Chain A
Amino acid sequence: MTNLVSRIACFGRLKHKAVGYSGPLDRQLLSYSYMITAVRSSLRDLVETILVSMFLTHDAERDRNDYHELATRSVEQQSTKCYRTLTMTSLPFINDNGCGLAIATRTYLDAINKDGVQPTDKLKGQIKAQEDPYTWFQFVPNLSRNLDNAFKLWDAVGLYLSPVL
């Protein structure tokens, strides 16, 4: 179960400070995150191809700015902005997520299940608050919130998809 919950967390993203990751490592989850990356980037390829084929076949207006005037600066900026809005911001799957959230989730689940007894709320709270000695993720400002996200993902994927399977 720990495996499955942390794998689903692997689809999410750990909110980490903008410094190098220094927490625990896990090669299984890293390998799993590469599978997600492969699927995600193939989906992105398809989204981009759909978009570009709409332009190429003139389903969408190509002349979004006058191409001949592209060399002049103001027009170029405008045009670039226009395409960037289309791709960077409104179409999905551009960002990779890594395996940080999966490792955080797994580390947490392993820690609360360590002794094989029902974990107390106190223990859960201590780990989530990263109290000593549970200081594995120094640069994660809010572990509790990250874990909440992982569990929300679990709920969304697990709960709603079980009927289809």
Chain B
Amino acid sequence: MGPLECFLFDVNTVLVDFDVKTKKCHWISKSEDWGLKKRLGNISDDLFRDAQLLLGSSFLPTFPILNQDNPTKRSDIREALALLNGAGQSVPQLCQQYRNDPNVVQLQYSDRYKKAVMTIRHHVISSVEQKTRPLDPDHAPSDVHEFVGRQLPDELYFYIQQGIMGTRVPNWLTSDEIVLDLPGGCADSDTYRRLMREQLNPLRAQSLSLLSTALHRYHQQRIVTLKMWYDNDPADEQIILRDHQSIKSQISGWKIHEADFPTAISSQQVCQSLRRHCYPLTDPSPSPQNEHSMLSALKALQDASFVPKTTSKPSNSVLRTDNEITYNVLWRFLQLRGFANEKHELTSWGVALEAAISSLDSADKMEEYVFVAIEMLRMGLVNGKDMTNIPGGAEHGSGK
């Protein structure tokens, strides 16, 4: 099962639909006797790939001429083939034909096509042996990093595969840019632009810096720029990682072993939270609930017998249990977000956060919502002001 983009790679058959009830599945094949290539006139692999690329994919936008007449209708592969056949079956030649078309020029289509072909040919894959390498490495040019991005340590790829980290921050680091698009339906307001362009940068800088200091020194010298949907090169907004080098050392004091945890943090808590997060959409059963780990982490910092233990002895032994890792992550996080200070005490924001979260009933599971609300309050984004210039409210809205 997969997207038809798989055909761009060495994949012959893609399952497109699978119905458990009727026990039927549908698939599309590329090279079989009845496959797509035969049906399109026995075309070559390269021509098939080029035609597919012209239709648009995550590697290359749709060739503008294909959408020209009717932007709402999606072109099919026959139309793409017809275009290609009129240009000697070559995309660069096709771009040359349309070199005066403003859309083709603006997209830098020819260059991006070449990049896309190389990206596909030498796409980075993960092998069963947990090695990350480009396809056909023997024939890869020496500047593969120019189009697939720089390589990170295998260890990091392993964590990504294990699902403990997403790809956003590593991608920012390997490409030196943060590409931001406007989500569908979202109003393109000044408030939203400012949030995406300026206000989130300190948070992004913390993540980038923290990751880069755990990697090769090369990554710590990078300058990451933004690419906005309305501005390709906002010169004033960039994250200079050299300026954020101290983040790791600020929080490395948090290395607290379970033996020193306040008694309130029971060893079963992490397992409990597993059950808590998997509740059905219907009303949860009224079983007794443990408090949220965020609240326990905050409460611990109010415990006069706990805090001195966390700052006195730098520990050399590594953290092992789930509980140890979870809470140390949370404490580090609270400090980086300004809810705790370097002496491991709650700041006034931390005190307010603890109070707000304590006021909730843990059965309602709303702790995280309050946290995000407070972060946005600090950015000045929680108010009743009109932020979008869009008239009206809900269907029955009054706008009051």
Contact = CB atoms under 8 A, between A and B. Distances in A.
Interface residues of A, number: 92
Contacts of B318: 58-61
Contacts of A37: 183
A26 B397 contact: yes
Contacts of B210: 46, 49-50, 53
Contact of A50 (B203, B336, B355, B396): B336
B196 A38 contact: yes
Interface in A77-104: 79-80, 82-93, 97, 103
B346 to A, nearest CB: 12
Given A8-B382, A46-B333, A86 B370 contact: no
A129 interface: no
Interface in A106-165: 106-107, 110-111, 113-114, 136, 141-142, 145, 149, 152-153, 155-157, 159-161, 163-165
Nearest to A40: B372
Contact of B384 (A4, A35, A55): A4
A17 B281 contact: yes
Contacts of B271: 85
B10 interface: no
Given A38-B200, A71-B128, A160-B352, A152 B364 contact: yes
B169 A48 contact: yes
Nearest to A2: B400
B372 A90 contact: no
Given A12-B369, A31-B387, A39-B200, A110 B394 contact: yes
Contacts of A97: 369
A136 to B, nearest CB: 8
Contact of B282 (A58, A71, A141): A141
Contacts of B273: 89-90
A51 B395 contact: no
Interface of A: 1-4, 7-8, 11-13, 15-18, 24-32, 34-62, 67, 70-71, 79-80, 82-93, 97, 103, 106-107, 110-111, 113-114, 136, 141-142, 145, 149, 152-153, 155-157, 159-161, 163-165
Given A1-B400, A79-B162, A91-B329, 11 more contacts: A8-B373, A18-B281, A35-B376, A38-B195, A42-B203, A45-B166, A49-B165, A59-B252, A89-B277, A90-B273, A152-B361
